[in-house]
Amino acid sequence: MTRRIFIAGNWKMNLNLASALDLVAGLKEEAASATRVDIAVCPSSLYVQPIAAALKGTNIGVGTQNAYFEREGAFTGEISMAMLCDVGCQYVILGHSERRNILGESSEQVNLKTHAALAAGLTPIVCVGELLKEREAGQTENVVRRQFDGSFSGVSAEDMKKCVIAYEPVWAIGTGKVATPDQAEEVHLAIRGMIEKNYDKNVAEAVRIQYGGSVNDKNAKEILAKPNVDGALVGGASLKVESFMGIIRSA
Ligand code: PGA
């Protein structure tokens, strides 16, 4: 089974509209020849519509960084999956560690959002990953397993195949401390084992597992060369054409 490499940029709460449009204008030219890689950018929800319009007809998809699980109603301040689809969104990052750790999002909430995203036709990119103290205590696999089991509870095998998992060790996010290719591969292999245990080998082979945490154009090649690393979720290095393109090219 060959899984297509998937490189996604998580812009977080960065860029204004003008600089975001500049960035995608540069990316769409440079990325046009990258036909063997799936590419997406995930701006603020507020900019999904203009960015999706600017990327229409290109090989770059658009995602967002969060959304709410209810379909509609009295949920002040929230944005539904259907609203995002409506303005051209295809992917949604769920359970990012910044949402888990700063905003108190639980795996139960991530699970509701995963179901809602799939029902709306969005591809969820579900993040899992351990804190430094959890790694040091030898708890990495247990933590990731709890997040995996919680986030995907009740998801059918057919739907599971459509999901993307991003393994992002929290100690590597925005710190410049990237996991070694071997450290990444070890956890990716463990996650594939979790999918096989809860589903079967066929599903496990289909699901793409991205690595995230201080990926840049210098370290991407070695990480992406690992057999169970199927792409990258890129924060800081996705905010510049050269560094994001460098990662795409090394894939
Ligand atoms: P980083 O962020 O590449 O800036 O470490 C990755 C992420 O949080 O998705």
pLDDT tens, position by position, 185-214: 999 999 999 999 999 999 999 999 999 999
Report which DSSP code applies to 68.
B
Tokens of 123: 């591809």
Residue 2 has pLDDT above 90, yes or no: no
Helical spans, DSSP H, in the chain: 17-31, 48-54, 81-86, 97-101, 107-120, 132-136, 140-152, 157-162, 181-198, 201-206, 220-224, 241-250
181: nearest Cα among 205, 207, 213: 213
Which pLDDT value is given to residue 118? 98
| Beta partners for residue 208, in sequence order | 164
Q: Which of 6, 10, 12, 247 to mutate to test the pocket of ligand 1 (most atoms within 8 A of CB)?
A: 10
Whole-number Å distance between alpha carbons of 77 and 68: 10
Residue 216 to residues 66, 95, 237, 248: CA-CA distances in angstroms? 23, 22, 6, 10
Which atom number of ligand 1 is nearest to the Cα of residue 236?
4
Indicate the helix (H) or strand (E) that contains 62.
Answer: strand 60-64
pLDDT over 80 at 242, yes or no: yes
Residue-level pLDDT at 117? 98
Ligand 1 midpoint to CA 247 (Å) = 13
Distance, in Å, from the CA atom of 150 to the CA atom of 3, rounded to the nearest integer, reads 25
For ligand 1, the distance from its centroid to the CA atom of residue 22, given in whole angstroms, is: 21
How far apart (Å, rounded) are the C-alpha atoms in residues 208 and 235? 18
**Residues tagged active-site:** 96, 168
pLDDT at site 190: 98
Pocket of ligand 1 (CB under 6 A): 10, 168, 173-174, 212-215, 233-237
Residue 122 has pLDDT above 90, yes or no: yes
Report which protein residue has its CA nearest ligand 1's atom 6. Answer: 235
pLDDT value, residue 1:
61
pTM: 0.98
The pLDDT, as a whole number, for residue 111 is 98
Calculate how far, in angstroms, residue 215's C-alpha sits from the geometric centre of ligand 1. 7
Query: Does residue 226 have a pLDDT over 80?
Result: yes
